[in-house]
Structure 1
Amino acid sequence: MTEIAEFKRGPGGRPTREEAERRLGTLLATAMRLFLERGFEAVSVEEIAKQAGVAKRFIYARYGDKAELFIAAVEQSFVGRLEDTLHGIEPSRHGVERGLYEFGQKLIAMAMQPEAIALHRLFVSSAPQFPEVAKRFVERNRERAFALVGHVLRFYADRGDIELRQPQLMMEQFFISVIGIPQRLALLGMRESAEDEDQRLRLAIRLFVNGCRPSGNKA
Structure 2
Amino acid sequence: MSDSTLIATQNAFRRGPGGRPTRAEAERRHRALLDTAARLFITRGLDGVSLEAIAEEAGVAKRFVYARYRDKGDLFADTLRRLIQERLSFIGSYEVGPAPVDQGLQAFAEMLEVAATQPEALALYRLVITELHRFPALSSLFVDKMRLNVLGSVTRVLTTYQTRGEVHFDDPVMATELFVTLVVQGARGRALVGIPETPAEMRRRTEAAVRLFLDGYRVKVP
CA 1:161–1:125 in 2, change beyond 3 Å: closer, same or farther? Answer: same
- 2:86 equivalent to 1:80: yes
2:70 is matched with which residue?
A: 64
Distance 2:153 2:62 in 1: 35
Count of residues paired in the alignment: 208
2:176 is matched with which residue?
A: 171
Report the Cα offset of residue 13 of structure 1.
4.5
Distance 2:87 2:22 in 1: 25
Report the Cα offset of residue 206 of structure 1.
1.2
Distance 1:131 1:162 in 2: 40
Percent of aligned pairs with the same residue? 39
Mapped contact 1:28–1:73 kept (Cα < 8 A): yes
1:135 is matched with which residue?
A: 139
- 2:75 equivalent to 1:36: no
Q: Which of 15, 18, 25 is residue 24 of structure 2 equivalent to?
A: 18
Name the amino acid aligned to 1:114: P
After the TM superposition, which of the residue ranges 27-36 and 148-157 deviates more from structure 2? 148-157
Structure 1: where are the runs of 5+ without partners? Answer: 1-7
Give CA deviations for 1:113-164 in whole Å, capped at 9, x if unaligned.
Answer: 1111111222233334x25154143243122221121221121121121223
Distance 2:190 2:62 in 1: 39
Report the Cα offset of residue 26 of structure 1.
0.5
TM-score (norm 2): 0.83
- 2:213 equivalent to 1:208: yes
Distance 2:63 2:160 in 1: 47
| RMSD (Å) for aligned C-alpha atoms | 2.2
- Aligned residue runs from structure 1 range 178-217, under 5 A: 178-214=183-219, 217=220
CA 1:186–1:204 in 2, change beyond 3 Å: closer, same or farther? Answer: same
After the TM superposition, which of the residue ranges 66-75 and 168-177 deviates more from structure 2? 66-75
Distance 1:189 1:171 in 2: 27
TM-score (norm 1): 0.84
Based on CA coordinates, which of the two structures has the bigger radius of gyration? Answer: 2
1:46 is matched with which residue?
A: 52
Give CA deviations for 1:83-104 in whole Å, capped at 9, x if unaligned.
Answer: 1x22342112111011010011
Mapped contact 2:84–2:145 kept (Cα < 8 A): no
